[in-house]
Amino acid sequence: MMKKNFILDYAHLLLKEYITSNDIVVDATMGNGYDTIFLAGISRKVYAFDIQEKAIEETAKKLNEQNISNVELILDTHERINNYLNLYKAVVFNLGYLPNGDKTITTHSESTILAITSILPKLPIGGFIQLVIYTGHEEGKKESKSIDQYFNHLDSDTYKVMKIELPFQDNNPPYILMIHKVKDES
Ligand SMILES: C[S@@+](CC[C@H](N)C(=O)[O-])C[C@H]1O[C@@H](n2cnc3c(N)ncnc32)[C@H](O)[C@@H]1O
């Protein structure tokens, strides 16, 4: 069902395809909890991270209202995911800042790359990272460039990186990167 934002709906479509009701998954950028709630509906358990109290409060409220109990909310940076859990099938990032929140609290290329670096070796074969990337703001442009450089050096036999974008749309629309681990790191 297509609703609010074409790329975000498409990102959810991909998650539905790859995540099963047995999987443990991570929402690395909880925000207002829309992705967290979506993930809760298709997986066994969701661990959701954000550095803002406001995100935890907003998401906890929604979880409560909807009686959702398979989610753990964690007030910490996604660079420390491995401090909280050992095993996960997928990690989802929706980069940037909260649309209706403090625009100075955005994800940053350095911490995003550090998080990705810590996650990749932990992924099982068949596991993946999904990133929704926004280039309509300055930090987002930087982030997009650093991410491109980083994945350009990744072993392409081990990791299959897929980009889903809207090449003919104006105004820097967001795009999706899917990084699938298809074999063990050698
Ligand atoms: C675009 S919003 C996420 C929207 C969210 N997925 C939703 O469904 O509402 C990005 C979020 O990432 C959070 N964030 C920024 N840096 C972070 C970090 N290092 N670790 C975890 N969260 C971070 C921000 O506080 C913000 O809430």
pLDDT in tens, the chain (186 residues): 445 689 999 999 999 999 999 999 999 999 999 999 999 999 999 999 999 999 999 999 999 999 999 999 999 999 999 999 999 999 999 999 987 888 889 999 999 999 999 999 999 999 999 999 999 988 899 999 999 999 999 999 999 999 999 999 999 999 999 999 999 987
Residue nearest to atom 23 of ligand 1 (CA): 50
Q: Which domain CATH number covers 40? A: 3.40.50.150
Tell if the pTM clears 0.85, that is, is over it.
Answer: yes
- How many Cα atoms within 13 Å fall on the side-chain side of residue 34? 12
For 24, residues 6+ apart whose C-beta sits below 8 A from its C-beta are 43, 44, 45, 46, 47, 85, 87, 88, 89
The arrangement of strands across the sheet holding 128-133 comes to 71-75, 45-50, 24-27, 90-94, 128-133, 175-181, 159-164
- Ligand 1 atom with the smallest distance to the CA of 132 is 1
Say if 186 falls within a structural domain. Answer: no
Is the CB of residue 107 less than 8 Å from the CB of residue 92? no
Residue 10 domain boundaries: 6-181
Query: Ligand 1: which residues within 6 Å by Cβ?
Result: 29, 31-35, 49-52, 55, 77-78, 94, 96-98, 105, 107, 111
Say if 1 falls within a structural domain. Answer: no
How many structural domains are present in the chain?
Answer: 1
